Structure formats: structure tokens, C-alpha cells
Amino acid sequence: MTEEEAFRMPPLTLAYVGDAVWEINVRTFLVMNGHRRPDSLHKLAVELVRAGAQAYRLREIQEVLTERERDVIRRGRNAKSGSIPKNARVTDYRASTGFEAMLGYLFLTGQTGRLQEIIQMLLALDDRSDGAKGSSAKRAEGSAHASEKPEE
């Protein structure tokens, strides 16, 4: 798909695709960091995909985004989605919609190198949006059950 075709798509459609892109990358990140138990995988994934965590990560990488990426984010943020999850602040939910729209845009336009570059930056960030300390990887490691050892 061309960049122009993707840019003209409804931002909520881009966010729909971007949600799946982020989810699979988060799940892969957790498994590659040694997590194998479904209960801990789910808890850790939810922590990384929630609106507040996405909004925080988006704010942290704003400076490295291109003008087009920022335009896609702005369109996603301003899209009217109909409902806001009860556990999310409106501002975080709108920002996370922009975050997901950008990921969907990059995926649909085949910009896989740029997409992976951004995802790696996002996953390497400290998640200080909820007072947690340490990078996502370190927190993910520390959250694993003591009996859960990485499989080799």
C-alpha cells in the first residue's frame, strides 16, 4: 500500500491494525525474555499495552518521529472512537489511539525497518507512567515467578 493510500485511510482503521502490531511485538518481546507461563505473560502484556503505558511511550519518542508519523498520530488522537475504556483517562486513550494508528500506518506501508526501530525504542523505555522502576525488560524479568526459569 502506498503512503498516500494509507494516510487517507480512517485513523481508527490504522489503529485497529496498529493494535495487533503492538500486541504481537509485546508478546514476542516477553517470550524472548524468558517468560513461558501464560498467567504471567498475560499480566505483563496487559501492563505494556494499556492506554497509559502507550501514551507515556509515545510522549517519550516524539522527538525522533517524522512529520508524517506525527501527522498520523494527530489524526488518530483526534478520531472519535465512540467509547473510552473505564480504566483509561480520555487523554491517554486518545494518545494511545494515535500511537496505534502510527504503528498501523508503518505496517501497512511496508516500512518494516522503521517500524522495528520505533518498537525497539518503545520497548526499551522505562515505564514511569505508573511509578514503576526499571526498563520494560527488567521489570518483565523481575515480575516472573521465582519458579519460572528461561527455557533455552
Catalytically annotated residues: 19
Torsion of CA 109, 100, 26, 122, to 10 degrees: 90
Is the separation of the CB atoms in 7 and 105 below 8 Å?
A: yes
Please tell me the distance from the alpha carbon of residue 80 to that of residue 61, in angstroms, as a whole number. Answer: 24
**In terms of C-beta density within 10 A (0-12 exposed, 13-18 middle, 19 or more buried), how is residue 139 classed?**
middle
Please tell me the distance from the alpha carbon of residue 133 to that of residue 144, in angstroms, as a whole number. Answer: 15
Please tell me the distance from the alpha carbon of residue 84 to that of residue 96, in angstroms, as a whole number. Answer: 11
Is the separation of the CB atoms in 145 and 137 below 8 Å?
A: no
Question: Taking the mean position of all CA atoms in its chain, how far away is CA 38?
Answer: 20
